[in-house]
Structure 1
């Protein structure tokens, strides 16, 4: 079911160096040890799950998923996305697309329930926001530089983000336009790949009190210097638990007692 890295227990400052209001205030938190999948769940791994269980995702049952598209009216935020009735995990680009050449891409177009179903089948669970951010923080090459998970001191890429002026042009100067296969960039100090960029990742944590949305972490290939800047471990966003999109995936956690 994939390779896992041991994340030792310890304390850290959650929400360090906040940029947006929802990221703070910085808080000291203690975390128990766990094991985290070294990369996001891939299309190949999810295909095995579906083949063995016959699982049908919510996007397949409920009329599609959100697909990011290049817009002729980029000044209109809503024009960047469309609810595509044919966008699913196995047709990630909508009509006419398939998984050819994408076996090692992170699986997308999955709701929280879809991610939970896979995690249960694989003998694990989704991480909480605290666990996810703790693991990502331990992996930073420079704890004093929140952007060190995204780029090296010389400016070269450590993560797949949007390079260029968002949403007009992604130059692909980091090596990729759109999604990248998992593990294309160097791992963090904990051996975990793609904790920053590529796809947002589901957690099990509500976004806030009385907010009917779930926290997602890590940023995605749509994060850029000219737009969201959520390519930092403290960054957070949210999504409805029954919704899915082309830039959100997940990885799973195993508690020590359940680890292989």
Structure 2
């Protein structure tokens, strides 16, 4: 871990790519905190599982009673065949498609989990230093508690990501993500059909494969999305427009796209991010998903107050 000194910054969108939920840009003051230099790796997560016998969300059969709570009233129960231990795995499309429907490149794959990131037949042998994926928010919380740490607040994460730079678009500054030497693991080419792999990685990369930011933190842009502690609310920044001190996020969740679902914040982008789609490697970019969600491009890192 590295120490992030107490300070003040402007949280929110920095350029024309910013989404509505990144505004208004506002002032935030934070106490100092420790943060993991890298995303939690397969080796670190395996140590946790060995010590505790923990079973991740993706390794358990979903319960309809729990899923139903996130859905609009009257939603019919899906076919029983879908209620299997599974997770969401990326599959490229054979040709360029509209980016309005992400079900075209995500597959609910039985047997996909942190040990088998691409589903049955895949494994993490030789990938100790890769970020653990297919972890839900609950899984990340459980690991953090075991490690004597916690998940970062959204404000802490963005402050750390900026690496001491004021109002810059990326953790490295303002130079466009597609120019010069690759500074992060992201999708080059036409998403989701053709990745030119200019950064040498089609999927996730070992942590520390790219240069760190000003605080010495790796992969604060790209590689895998990272869970934060906060609930997600589309209009939260409007509530703190006049400034905030050590904000912990909203008391309730609201995503206009799925108003009945309770969601948590994800930050940092992933190897699937591209300017045409999500530009998730921007320091201000906000993403969200339900607490029980797990994906092939989603992990986490921890923070500590002591």
Q: Same fold (TM over 0.5)?
A: yes
Task: Name the counterpart of 1:216.
Answer: 266
Task: Name the counterpart of 1:195.
Answer: 220
| Equivalent-residue separation in structure 2 for 1:59 and 1:150 (angstroms) | 36
TM-score (norm 1): 0.92
RMSD: 1.7
Deviation at 1:148, TM superposition (A): 5.4
Q: Equivalences for 1:111-126 in 2 at 5 Å?
A: 111-126=136-151
SS of alignment partner, residue 46 of structure 2? helix
Task: Name the counterpart of 1:79.
Answer: 104
Deviation at 1:21, TM superposition (A): 0.6
Residues 1:101 and 2:126 are matched in the alignment: yes
| Equivalent-residue separation in structure 2 for 1:175 and 1:148 (angstroms) | 20
Task: Name the counterpart of 1:12.
Answer: 9
Task: Name the counterpart of 2:172.
Answer: 149
Q: Equivalences for 1:1-260 in 2 at 5 Å?
A: 4-17=1-14, 19-62=18-61, 63-72=85-94, 74-75=96-97, 77-140=102-165, 143=166, 145-147=168-170, 149=172, 155-208=180-233, 209-211=252-254, 212-256=262-306
Alpha-carbon spacing, 1:163–1:151, altered in 2? closer, same or farther (3 Å): farther
TM-score (norm 2): 0.78
| Equivalent-residue separation in structure 2 for 1:17 and 1:241 (angstroms) | 28
| Equivalent-residue separation in structure 2 for 1:196 and 1:73 (angstroms) | 27
Deviation string, structure 1 residues 179-231 (Cα, Å, up to 9, x no partner): 10101001111010000100000001111144211000001111112221121
| Equivalent-residue separation in structure 2 for 1:14 and 1:148 (angstroms) | 13
Kept after mapping to 1: 8 A contact 2:171/2:220 = no
Equivalences, count: 251
| Equivalent-residue separation in structure 2 for 1:11 and 1:127 (angstroms) | 16
